[in-house]
Amino acid sequence: MFFHQFDIIFDSLKEIEESFKHNPGKKETEDLINRLLQLRNIMDECVKCWLNFEERVNELQKKYEFTLPDLLPDDFLQGLSMNREQLDEGLEVRFNNNTAKTSLFYQLESEQGISSFRKGMGFWDLAMLEEAIIEFEKLVVLEPNYIFGHFCLGLAYSQKGLNEKALGKLRLVKALSQDHQLKALVHNSMGNIYVSEKKYEEALNEFSRAVEEDPLFYTGYFNMGAVLYNMQRYKEAGEAFEKAKETSPQDWEICYYLGKTYTLAGDFKKGLQNFKKAFSLNPSEKRILFELGIIYDLLGDKRNATFYYNRVLNEQS
């Protein structure tokens, strides 16, 4: 029931975004802004409740002399996405990981450190980066041996656009860590920073090193493919996307970008195969419908091309 309320809030946010896409008039825009303000007020109250909860938990630990285990769910990093469109073609560079384990990290030792860590993660999850950075900075002073704290601070710096600070922290984590999965995450994160600075050779090097550290890290392969695609190195891009597809065959975006890559490389048959696979995984995505129209056009199949173009128009109406 509790989480259902958040589902409603984010569904409302999605509806507002869709309304903005249709160029609303002045009055409608004002109404949408007022709705956003109402949602923000609700979330602000949630933050206050969460902070109060953390304080009460800390008081209970002190009063009754127990310590809650500082554990993280295996998939907690999946929500910390850095997906964003990078270049004209709309390819995305990703940050996510579903293999992070608490065994990668040292146990926190101080109550203040635990408190700052939890507050930092909470602020981060709410996209309150300045507040998250303050807590993570406290954390690394209190717990300098807690490698994951330095990693979180580096990512928070990166998301805030403080790239030099971010790279400094990530290099520190890379030097201290002996864990291949964590090093893969570090190289991937550094690659994302270089992409944001349009330093594509440096980014490609980092993504390559990420998959060397962890050959099953499909996000690294995807990011390699994205960079190579935008460098118009389509053959290599296709190879990287295929590696990502091997590890994550149900990811429609990988199939979609493979379709675009093969199409630009002149292999329309493989392009069509991958677009059809992407469509089967996500039949409501308009970009796939449009690309299917284009590739059927290139293959001279006007009937199917018209069918998919009309689907795009019907989706927009």
Q: What angle do CA 257, 260, 266 make, to 5 degrees?
A: 140
Q: State the distance between the two ends of the chain, measured CA to CA, in whole angstroms.
A: 34
Domains of the chain: 255-317 (1.25.40.10)
Rounded Cα gap, residues 140 and 1, in angstroms: 36
Rounded Cα gap, residues 97 and 219, in angstroms: 8
Specify the higher pLDDT residue, 49 or 165. 165
Task: Judge whether residue 39 has pLDDT over 60.
Answer: yes
C-alpha distances (whole Å) from 266 to each of 82, 171, 262 are 31, 40, 6
Segment among 11-20, 70-79, 171-180, 227-236 with least mean pLDDT: 70-79
Q: What is the pTM of this model?
A: 0.69
Q: Over the stretch 117-148, which tens digit does the pLDDT of each residue have? A: 888 888 887 888 899 999 999 999 998 888 88
- Name residue 161's amino acid: G
Q: What is the 3-state secondary structure (H, E, C) of 105-138?
A: CCCCCCHHHHHHHHHHHHHHHCCCHHHHHHHHHH
Q: Is the dihedral of CA 110, 115, 120, 121 positive or negative?
A: positive
DSSP state of 102: G
**94 — pLDDT class (breaks 50, 70, 90):** low
Q: Over the stretch 220-250, which tens digit does the pLDDT of each residue have? A: 999 999 999 999 999 999 999 999 999 889 9
